[in-house]
């Protein structure tokens, strides 16, 4: 099984409210990633976990949080959603953090903030 699963597929949120997105993988991959994808833009890396170590991109450091309670599960948390957070959120995993490793993506969660 090489699937990465994301829930929910669609999510509606109100401005100023928190949002929690969930991702799981059963491939025993060490590394899990969260990307943000907006229409006509490249997927943008938000953060990733290598084992239990969280790495966040400098320009999104304060906007997104994440937790990884075990190897299979990773969440993305937005403390206070703004309109600019409306996007597709893609979770991915790879065997380890080596640059040659292939990323396996989930089907994404489409977040709409109103």
Partner 1 sequence: AQKVTQTQTSISVMEKTTVTMDCVYETQDSSYFLFWYKQTASGEIVFLIRQDSYKKENATVGHYSLNFQKPKSSIGLIITATQIEDSAVYFCAMREGNQGGRALIFGTGTTVSVSP
- Say if residues 90 and 106 touch (Cβ distance below 8 Å): yes
11 lies in the site for partner 1, by CB under 8 A: no
In whole angstroms, the minimum distance from the beta carbon of 71 to partner 1 comes to: 17
State CA 42 to chain mean position distance.
15
DSSP 8-state symbol, 41? S
Q: 37-56: which residues touch partner 1 (CB under 8 A)?
A: 40-45, 48, 50, 55
57 lies in the site for partner 1, by CB under 8 A: yes
For 37, half-sphere exposure in the C-beta direction (CA atoms, 13 angstrom radius) is 17
Residue count, binding to partner 1 (CB under 8 A): 27
99 lies in the site for partner 1, by CB under 8 A: yes
The counts of H helices and E strands in the chain are 0, 11
Interatomic CA distance for residues 11 and 4, integer angstroms: 18
Instruction: Identify the residue among 22, 27, 54, 88 touching partner 1 (CB under 8 A).
Output: 88
> What is the contact surface with partner 1 in residues (CB under 8 A)?
33, 40-45, 48, 50, 55, 57, 88, 90, 92, 96-100, 102-108, 110
């Amino acid at each position: 099984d090489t699937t990465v699963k994301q829930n929910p597929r669609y999510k509606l949120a109100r401005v100023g409210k928190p949002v929690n997105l969930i991702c799981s993988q059963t491939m025993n991959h060490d590394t899990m990633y969260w990307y943000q994808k907006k229409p006509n833009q490249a997927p943008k890396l938000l953060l990733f976990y290598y084992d239990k170590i969280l790495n966040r991109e400098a320009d999104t450091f304060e906007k997104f949080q994440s937790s990884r309670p075990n190897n299979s599960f990773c969440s993305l948390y937005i403390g206070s959603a703004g309109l600019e957070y409306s996007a597709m959120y893609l979770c991915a995993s790879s065997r380890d953090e080596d640059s040659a490793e292939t990323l396996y993506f989930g089907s994404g969660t489409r977040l709409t903030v109103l």
